[in-house]
Structure 1
Amino acid sequence: MRALLSTWGSRGDVEPMVALAVRLREFGADVQVCAPPDEEFVTLLARVGVPLVPLGPTVRSVVAGTRPPSGEDALRLAPELVAARFDTLAAAAEVCDVLLAGGLMPAGVRDVAEKLGIRYVYACFHTFGLPSRHFPPGTRPGTRPGTPSPQGEADIRALWEQDAQRVNGLYGEALNGHRAAIGLPPVDNVRDHVFTDRPWLAADAALCPSEGLTDLDLVRTGPWILPDERPLPAELEAFLDDGAPPVYVGFGSMAAHAPKDVARVSTEAIRAQGRRVLLARGWAGLAPADGRDDCFVVGEVNQQALFRRVAAVVHHGGAGTTTAAARAGAPQIVVPQIADQPFWAARVAELGIGAAHEGRTPTVESLSAALRTVLTPETRERAAAVAATMRTDGATVAAKLLLETVSQEMSPVPA
């Protein structure tokens, strides 16, 4: 089987696709990953030996400015990504048997698969944004730009219809223009067209329960985890060995969204609890507040190994970081910034494996209060208990399912 996996987004959108690619290859598939050409993704795919097909602009060029991307930025990016998918995937998938897509609204992928006559699968890493009769669409920053719903609108069905209209406003004209150019009829609901009736959910059942959260017929596989065997840097090992476990602080790719002065605020709050600080530089370029030796700065590092050795993880609530901390049994404080991050913060609090910070900008006082909650034996014991229930075979489950599905479709029908 020949597969092309396509995504555009942050590390949490790319690394699961790489995990699936690795498992598919181990089962004998010929697989490529179509992803943004950021240096860290180029390095990640090179590390595992999976070919990268560059797609669109780098994510860093979009999100790492001095301000968060605006609605106008989204209106420019959406048609650019649609065009990139039609151009790039049409060539890369020409000899493929299946196209699997995820990440930022992958409008254009299903359409290329339709033109080529091959299987299309949509995969998501959370249920945020999937239509539901029980919950309204999210309204936090980072959700879909466009005409807001009328103030006071309470009808959930109407709110989701308005959400679909906002997706059409972003992607509809570009998508249908490209469809017409290759002889395909227009679609009137881009969101539902992309999601299909049966999307795959690559998330842990405890962290992301799906019952009652969407009207779609989800296929649960478990999270797609890429094993990381890299040793920790010697200097980091020395820091970890030189005292009690530190508290990790990182905001990943949240460069423009990172809370103001978060490095200083976090450092003061952590020191107030008598703990050392492990600061992840990330795309926000976090730097220590002073030169004291109780604070260590790390770049891109093996989180699977690191999180098992920290007292707690303070982060933005990306799906990947939340899952990594939960698997490691590390108590966590989620300071959500955009999109699905409030969902993960709420789940962490509901499970008792950490705390959800109220508001996007922590103070020394608010973060200190959250730390007092998570730096307790009870929270660590609960985090360890949840970690013991989490499955690690999601990429294997998905790889086998994809191989079986495509194999059945390729099998000749008996006369």
Structure 2
Amino acid sequence: MRVLLSAYDSRGGVEPLVGLAVRLRELGAEVRVCAPPDEEFEKRLAVVGVQMVPTGKSVRELVTGKTPATPGGVPRRAAELVAAFYDKVSVAAEGADVLVATGVVPAVAGVKAVAEKLGIRYVYASYQPVTLPSPHHPPIARPGKPLPPDVTDNRALWEQDAKDAQAVFGEAINSHRESIGLPPVDNVRDHVFTDRPWLASDPVLAPWQQPAELDVVQTGAWVLPDERPLPAELVAFLDAGTAPVYVGFGSIPMRDPEDVARVAIEAIRAQGCRAVVSRGWADLALIDDQDDCFVVGEVNHQALFRRAAAVVHHGGAGTTTAATWAGAPQVVVPQGGDQPYFAGRVADLGIGAAHDGPIPTVESLSAALRTALSPETRARATAVAGTFRADGASVAAKLLIDAVS
């Protein structure tokens, strides 16, 4: 059996495919992954011996580029993405039995077109429930299409979201479909999601609520135990004192990284804690040469979070999942997208605090840290970690094997 996995996303969107790929190989499948041509993705997949096919432009360059993305540039980028993923996946999927796609709509539409042309089974997967239509939550606004403030009915908002997705991506996707001999679609969102999407999230952290129109298959989060050792210098820092507070914002560039680092370190020090600062795509750095702070690049989050007093982060699906699995109390400072949802879930579960807004101050972050560092929050985080379903990738791999068989 051959499986092709595809994502156009940041690290948090590619990492779950690593877990799924490994579990598929354990069941005897051949696996390839189409992902952005960022060096960190290639290195991560190389560690587990999975072939990666670089596809599309660098996500890191797009996110951190000097020329900010604008809504007016979305149609052009959409056209580039759908064509790039169609072209690459068409070749990489030779002999494949199933295609699994996740990430942004244009890239997924390119994969879906390959499935149609070649007659290959297709599965769409999301890492969070809030991107899937449901009466229980509103959609996330599309580029340049803010949600109407006077509409509060979720069903009406999702109907508008389908129209917005068509307005933003429809022309690019349908022009490409016409060029390869496929008919146009009048609802690109539902076309790529299908009526039976998969939800690769932990059912306690990010559950799918019923009743709902979609027949969602929730597999659990696609995680993989990370056996990579922590750098020796980091281990020495951890061993030299009390558990530190980790702060990092992953692939979020942040508007003023110097001020963000200053605020975070001052707020952590105000709680009498040491700090581990992750550079991330914002390129955070230390603010002085005191020995109570340590800066890291790419490291094993699972191992590090297990040794952290708390984890301060942006609320991406990947980081929230890793911190929850590790039993680390969290402070989520959401920047956009699905991050406010995960901030709310962390607060609702009692495993941390949701910061109010994307820009922390020393005072606001200190208040959130006091909640996260309390014994009650630590106990609750440990309890929720005990319920975490770590077999999601195995469940998904077996479903794929069974479906093809």
Q: CA offsets, 1:149-178, max 9 Å, x none? A: 544133433322221122112221122122
What's the CA shift for 1:16? 0.4
Is residue 6 from structure 1 mapped to residue 6 from structure 2 by the alignment? yes
Q: Deviation per CA, 1:241-296, whole angstroms, max 9, x where unpaired?
A: 11100000000010145767110001001101100011001110000111111110
Shift of 1:66: 4.8
Matching of residue 319 in structure 1 with residue 317 in structure 2: yes
1:145 alignment partner, one of 137, 143, 149: 143
Displacement, 1:75? 2.9
Query: Partner residue of 2:51?
Result: 51
Distance 1:38 1:66, change over 3 A: same
Q: In structure 1, what residue type is equivalent to 2:368? A: A
1:113 pairs with 2:115 = yes
Which residue in 2 is equivalent to 1:264? 262
Cα distance in 1 for residues equivalent to 2:194 and 2:404: 17
For the residue of structure 1 that corresponds to 2:109, the secondary structure is coil
Contact 2:79-2:176 at 8 Å conserved across structures: no
Partner deviation per Cα, 1:200-225 (whole Å, 9 max, x = no partner): 11100110011148531110111101
CA distance in 2, matches of 1:296, 1:68: 30
| Residue in 2 that maps onto 1:411 | none
- 1:372 and 2:373 matched: no
Give the TM-score of the pair, scaled to structure 1.
Answer: 0.94
Shift of the 134–259 alpha-carbon distance from structure 1 to 2, 3 Å rule, reads farther
Is the alpha carbon distance of 1:137 and 1:398 closer, same or farther for their aligned partners in structure 2, counting shifts above 3 Å? same
Distance in 2 between the 1:23 and 1:240 partners? 32
2:339 is matched with 341
Counterparts of 1:15-414 in structure 2, within 5 Å, are 15-66=15-66, 69-105=69-105, 106-138=108-140, 143-212=141-210, 214-256=212-254, 261-407=259-405
1:147 Cα deviation from its structure 2 partner: 4.0
Indicate how the Cα distance of structure 1 residues 98 and 150 shifts in structure 2: closer, same or farther if over 3 A, else same. Answer: same
Kindly indicate whether the alpha-carbon contact (under 8 Å) linking 1:5 and 1:99 is maintained by their aligned counterparts in 2: yes
Task: Name structure 2 gaps, 5 residues minimum.
Answer: none
Please state how far the C-alpha of 1:108 moved relative to its aligned partner. Answer: 1.8
Report how far residue 70 of structure 1 moved.
Answer: 2.5
Question: Do the aligned residues in 2 keep the contact of 1:130 with 1:214 (CA within 8 Å)?
Answer: no
Q: Is the 8 A contact 1:13 1:103 kept in 2?
A: yes
TM-aligned CA distance change 1:309 to 1:298, over 3 Å: same
Equivalent position SS for 1:333: strand
Superimposed CA distance per residue, residues 343-366 of structure 1 (whole angstroms, 9 cap, x where no aligned partner): 000000000000000010000000
Closer/same/farther in 2, CA of residues 86 and 182 from structure 1, 3 Å limit: same
Aligned-pair identity (%): 66
Distance in 1, matches of 2:172 and 2:266, equals: 49
Distance in 2 of aligned mates of 1:316 and 1:306: 17
Equivalences, count: 403
Partner Cα separation in structure 1 for residue 256 and residue 331 of structure 2: 15
- Distance in 2, Cα, partners of 1:66 & 1:363: 26
User: CA RMSD of the aligned region, Å?
Assistant: 1.5
Q: Is the 8 A contact 1:126 1:208 kept in 2?
A: yes
Q: Is the 8 A contact 2:31 2:50 kept in 1?
A: yes
String of CA shifts for 1:95-127, please: whole Å, max 9, x gaps. 211111011222221111011001000011001
